Amino acid sequence: MNRIDQIFSSNKKLISIYFTAGFPNINDTVPIIKKLQKAGVDLIEIGLPFSDPLADGPTIQESSTIALKNGMNTKLLFKQLKNIREEINIPLIIMGYFNPILQYGIESFCKQSKLIGIDGLIIPDLPVDVYHNKYQYIFENYDLYNIFLITPQTNKKRIKFIDKISKGFIYMVSNSSITGVKNSIENSQLQYFENISSLNLKTPQLIGFGISNSKTYKNAVKYSKGAIIGSAFIEFIKKEGINKIEKFINEIRS
Protein backbone atom coordinates (compact mmCIF):
# COMPACT_ATOMS: atom_id res chain seq x y z
CA MET A 1 0.00 0.00 0.00
CA ASN A 2 1.22 3.49 -0.83
CA ARG A 3 2.29 5.32 2.34
CA ILE A 4 -0.08 8.18 1.51
CA ASP A 5 -3.03 5.79 1.70
CA GLN A 6 -1.74 4.46 5.01
CA ILE A 7 -1.58 7.89 6.64
CA PHE A 8 -5.00 8.88 5.32
CA SER A 9 -6.56 5.72 6.76
CA SER A 10 -6.06 7.11 10.27
CA ASN A 11 -8.69 9.18 12.06
CA LYS A 12 -6.32 12.01 13.01
CA LYS A 13 -6.18 15.43 11.41
CA LEU A 14 -2.99 15.66 9.40
CA ILE A 15 -0.20 18.21 9.13
CA SER A 16 1.76 18.33 5.91
CA ILE A 17 4.83 20.55 5.74
CA TYR A 18 6.33 21.99 2.57
CA PHE A 19 9.93 23.16 2.43
CA THR A 20 12.35 23.98 -0.36
CA ALA A 21 15.18 21.49 -0.85
CA GLY A 22 18.57 23.13 -0.41
CA PHE A 23 17.27 25.93 1.81
CA PRO A 24 18.48 27.55 3.97
CA ASN A 25 21.68 25.60 3.27
CA ILE A 26 22.43 23.09 0.54
CA ASN A 27 22.79 20.13 2.92
CA ASP A 28 19.74 20.92 5.08
CA THR A 29 17.31 18.78 3.07
CA VAL A 30 17.71 15.49 4.92
CA PRO A 31 18.17 17.03 8.40
CA ILE A 32 14.91 18.96 7.96
CA ILE A 33 13.06 15.79 6.94
CA LYS A 34 14.40 13.95 10.00
CA LYS A 35 13.45 16.77 12.36
CA LEU A 36 9.95 17.03 10.86
CA GLN A 37 9.33 13.31 11.34
CA LYS A 38 10.60 13.52 14.92
CA ALA A 39 8.24 16.48 15.53
CA GLY A 40 5.25 14.34 14.52
CA VAL A 41 4.51 15.68 11.04
CA ASP A 42 2.36 13.29 9.01
CA LEU A 43 3.46 14.11 5.48
CA ILE A 44 6.33 16.06 3.90
CA GLU A 45 6.36 17.94 0.60
CA ILE A 46 9.91 18.49 -0.66
CA GLY A 47 10.05 21.48 -2.98
CA LEU A 48 12.26 21.17 -6.06
CA PRO A 49 13.34 24.78 -6.65
CA PHE A 50 12.65 26.39 -10.00
CA SER A 51 13.64 29.76 -11.42
CA ASP A 52 10.08 30.74 -12.41
CA PRO A 53 7.70 29.51 -9.68
CA LEU A 54 4.45 31.12 -10.88
CA ALA A 55 2.17 29.88 -8.08
CA ASP A 56 4.51 30.75 -5.25
CA GLY A 57 4.54 33.85 -3.11
CA PRO A 58 7.63 35.89 -2.19
CA THR A 59 8.71 33.65 0.70
CA ILE A 60 8.89 30.46 -1.35
CA GLN A 61 10.26 32.33 -4.36
CA GLU A 62 13.09 33.66 -2.21
CA SER A 63 13.81 30.23 -0.77
CA SER A 64 13.92 28.78 -4.30
CA THR A 65 16.32 31.50 -5.45
CA ILE A 66 18.62 30.84 -2.49
CA ALA A 67 18.43 27.06 -3.00
CA LEU A 68 19.35 27.40 -6.67
CA LYS A 69 22.25 29.69 -5.78
CA ASN A 70 23.32 27.09 -3.23
CA GLY A 71 23.54 24.59 -6.08
CA MET A 72 20.34 22.57 -5.67
CA ASN A 73 19.11 20.71 -8.75
CA THR A 74 17.20 17.53 -9.57
CA LYS A 75 20.22 15.22 -9.65
CA LEU A 76 21.54 16.53 -6.36
CA LEU A 77 18.15 16.17 -4.68
CA PHE A 78 17.93 12.53 -5.73
CA LYS A 79 21.48 12.00 -4.47
CA GLN A 80 20.62 13.55 -1.09
CA LEU A 81 17.51 11.38 -0.77
CA LYS A 82 19.16 8.14 -1.92
CA ASN A 83 19.09 6.47 1.51
CA ILE A 84 16.21 8.42 3.05
CA ARG A 85 14.08 5.33 3.67
CA GLU A 86 16.65 3.93 6.08
CA GLU A 87 15.34 6.40 8.67
CA ILE A 88 12.12 7.98 7.37
CA ASN A 89 8.82 6.09 7.26
CA ILE A 90 6.23 8.85 6.69
CA PRO A 91 5.03 9.77 3.17
CA LEU A 92 7.31 11.94 1.07
CA ILE A 93 6.13 13.96 -1.92
CA ILE A 94 8.23 15.96 -4.36
CA MET A 95 6.55 19.21 -5.35
CA GLY A 96 7.91 20.98 -8.38
CA TYR A 97 7.17 22.56 -11.71
CA PHE A 98 6.92 20.55 -14.89
CA ASN A 99 9.90 22.02 -16.77
CA PRO A 100 12.71 20.53 -14.61
CA ILE A 101 10.90 17.18 -14.54
CA LEU A 102 10.48 17.24 -18.34
CA GLN A 103 14.15 18.12 -18.77
CA TYR A 104 15.15 15.21 -16.56
CA GLY A 105 12.77 12.90 -18.44
CA ILE A 106 9.30 12.01 -17.16
CA GLU A 107 9.91 8.27 -16.89
CA SER A 108 13.45 8.70 -15.55
CA PHE A 109 12.13 11.09 -12.90
CA CYS A 110 9.37 8.69 -11.88
CA LYS A 111 11.73 5.72 -11.85
CA GLN A 112 14.27 7.50 -9.67
CA SER A 113 11.53 8.77 -7.35
CA LYS A 114 10.28 5.21 -6.89
CA LEU A 115 13.80 3.88 -6.25
CA ILE A 116 14.42 6.28 -3.37
CA GLY A 117 10.98 5.86 -1.83
CA ILE A 118 9.02 8.90 -2.96
CA ASP A 119 5.25 8.35 -2.69
CA GLY A 120 3.84 11.05 -4.94
CA LEU A 121 4.38 14.20 -6.95
CA ILE A 122 2.68 17.59 -6.99
CA ILE A 123 3.17 19.43 -10.29
CA PRO A 124 1.06 22.61 -10.19
CA ASP A 125 1.51 23.49 -13.87
CA LEU A 126 0.77 20.03 -15.30
CA PRO A 127 -2.88 20.16 -16.49
CA VAL A 128 -4.99 17.23 -15.39
CA ASP A 129 -6.04 16.47 -18.98
CA VAL A 130 -2.44 16.32 -20.19
CA TYR A 131 -1.50 14.08 -17.28
CA HIS A 132 -4.46 11.77 -17.91
CA ASN A 133 -3.84 11.47 -21.65
CA LYS A 134 -0.03 11.32 -21.73
CA TYR A 135 1.58 10.47 -18.41
CA GLN A 136 -0.82 8.70 -16.07
CA TYR A 137 0.32 5.22 -17.11
CA ILE A 138 3.94 6.13 -16.29
CA PHE A 139 3.05 7.37 -12.82
CA GLU A 140 0.94 4.30 -12.14
CA ASN A 141 3.71 1.99 -13.38
CA TYR A 142 5.92 3.33 -10.60
CA ASP A 143 3.15 3.54 -7.96
CA LEU A 144 3.49 7.32 -7.76
CA TYR A 145 0.43 9.37 -6.90
CA ASN A 146 0.05 12.61 -8.82
CA ILE A 147 -1.66 15.08 -6.51
CA PHE A 148 -3.91 17.66 -8.19
CA LEU A 149 -4.81 21.14 -7.03
CA ILE A 150 -8.28 22.67 -7.00
CA THR A 151 -9.02 26.35 -6.36
CA PRO A 152 -12.14 28.47 -5.78
CA GLN A 153 -12.17 28.97 -9.57
CA THR A 154 -12.18 25.27 -10.44
CA ASN A 155 -15.62 24.39 -11.80
CA LYS A 156 -17.65 21.48 -10.46
CA LYS A 157 -17.24 19.36 -13.60
CA ARG A 158 -13.47 19.60 -13.44
CA ILE A 159 -13.43 18.92 -9.70
CA LYS A 160 -15.45 15.75 -10.32
CA PHE A 161 -13.01 14.66 -13.04
CA ILE A 162 -10.01 15.33 -10.78
CA ASP A 163 -11.71 13.36 -8.02
CA LYS A 164 -12.35 10.47 -10.42
CA ILE A 165 -8.71 10.01 -11.43
CA SER A 166 -7.07 11.07 -8.16
CA LYS A 167 -5.23 8.86 -5.72
CA GLY A 168 -4.03 9.85 -2.27
CA PHE A 169 -5.54 13.27 -1.74
CA ILE A 170 -6.58 16.48 -3.46
CA TYR A 171 -4.64 19.67 -2.70
CA MET A 172 -7.37 22.19 -1.96
CA VAL A 173 -6.01 25.72 -2.52
CA SER A 174 -7.72 27.95 0.02
CA ASN A 175 -7.71 31.12 -2.08
CA SER A 176 -7.10 32.45 -5.57
CA SER A 177 -3.81 34.17 -4.83
CA ILE A 178 -0.24 32.95 -4.63
CA THR A 179 1.13 31.17 -1.59
CA GLY A 180 1.91 33.19 1.50
CA VAL A 181 1.39 33.65 5.22
CA LYS A 182 -2.08 34.76 6.31
CA ASN A 183 -3.26 35.12 9.90
CA SER A 184 -6.92 34.27 9.41
CA ILE A 185 -9.37 32.58 7.07
CA GLU A 186 -11.99 34.78 5.42
CA ASN A 187 -15.71 34.06 5.22
CA SER A 188 -15.50 33.56 1.45
CA GLN A 189 -12.93 30.82 2.01
CA LEU A 190 -15.14 29.10 4.59
CA GLN A 191 -17.99 29.14 2.07
CA TYR A 192 -15.67 27.55 -0.50
CA PHE A 193 -14.67 24.85 2.00
CA GLU A 194 -18.33 24.12 2.71
CA ASN A 195 -19.11 23.92 -1.02
CA ILE A 196 -16.38 21.34 -1.53
CA SER A 197 -17.56 19.35 1.48
CA SER A 198 -21.07 19.23 0.01
CA LEU A 199 -19.73 17.48 -3.12
CA ASN A 200 -18.90 14.35 -1.09
CA LEU A 201 -15.74 13.63 -3.06
CA LYS A 202 -14.24 10.15 -2.78
CA THR A 203 -10.73 11.58 -2.45
CA PRO A 204 -9.80 13.27 0.86
CA GLN A 205 -8.53 16.83 0.76
CA LEU A 206 -5.74 18.77 2.41
CA ILE A 207 -6.09 22.55 2.51
CA GLY A 208 -3.09 24.71 1.66
CA PHE A 209 -2.11 28.33 0.90
CA GLY A 210 -2.31 30.74 3.83
CA ILE A 211 -2.25 28.17 6.65
CA SER A 212 0.24 29.68 9.07
CA ASN A 213 -0.71 29.20 12.72
CA SER A 214 -2.87 27.21 15.12
CA LYS A 215 -5.98 29.29 14.34
CA THR A 216 -5.85 28.89 10.56
CA TYR A 217 -4.90 25.22 10.90
CA LYS A 218 -7.86 24.43 13.16
CA ASN A 219 -10.28 26.28 10.87
CA ALA A 220 -8.99 24.42 7.83
CA VAL A 221 -9.21 20.95 9.36
CA LYS A 222 -12.88 21.45 10.20
CA TYR A 223 -13.50 21.05 6.47
CA SER A 224 -10.73 18.66 5.43
CA LYS A 225 -8.52 15.77 6.46
CA GLY A 226 -5.69 18.16 7.27
CA ALA A 227 -3.69 21.17 6.18
CA ILE A 228 -0.48 22.04 4.36
CA ILE A 229 1.90 24.65 5.72
CA GLY A 230 4.68 26.07 3.56
CA SER A 231 5.50 29.78 3.68
CA ALA A 232 5.09 30.06 7.46
CA PHE A 233 7.44 27.12 8.00
CA ILE A 234 10.04 28.55 5.62
CA GLU A 235 9.83 31.91 7.42
CA PHE A 236 10.32 30.09 10.71
CA ILE A 237 13.45 28.18 9.72
CA LYS A 238 14.81 31.33 8.09
CA LYS A 239 14.56 33.17 11.41
CA GLU A 240 14.95 30.40 13.98
CA GLY A 241 17.06 27.83 12.14
CA ILE A 242 16.27 24.15 11.68
CA ASN A 243 16.99 23.05 15.26
CA LYS A 244 13.72 24.45 16.63
CA ILE A 245 11.37 22.74 14.16
CA GLU A 246 9.59 20.82 16.93
CA LYS A 247 8.62 24.14 18.52
CA PHE A 248 6.93 25.25 15.29
CA ILE A 249 4.93 22.04 14.92
CA ASN A 250 3.88 22.05 18.58
CA GLU A 251 2.57 25.61 18.22
CA ILE A 252 0.49 24.62 15.17
CA ARG A 253 -1.09 21.70 17.01
CA SER A 254 -1.62 23.61 20.28
Q: For this structure, is 186 an active site residue?
A: no
Residues 6 or more apart whose CB falls under 8 angstroms from that of 155 comprise none
Neighbours of 3 (CB within 10 A): 21
Q: For this structure, is 163 an active site residue?
A: no
* 252 neighbors 232 (Cβ within 8 angstroms): no
CA neighbours closer than 13 Å in the CB half-sphere of residue 84 = 29
Catalytic position from the list 45, 107, 194, 240: 45
Instruction: Provide the 8-state DSSP code for 15.
Output: E
* 195 neighbors 172 (Cβ within 8 angstroms): no
DSSP of 160-214: HHHHHH--S-EEEESSSS-S---SS--HHHHHHHHHHHHT--SS-EEEESS--SH
Catalytic position from the list 42, 56, 119, 235: 56
Q: How far apart are CA 83 and CA 44, in angstroms?
A: 16
* Residues carrying an active site annotation: 45, 56
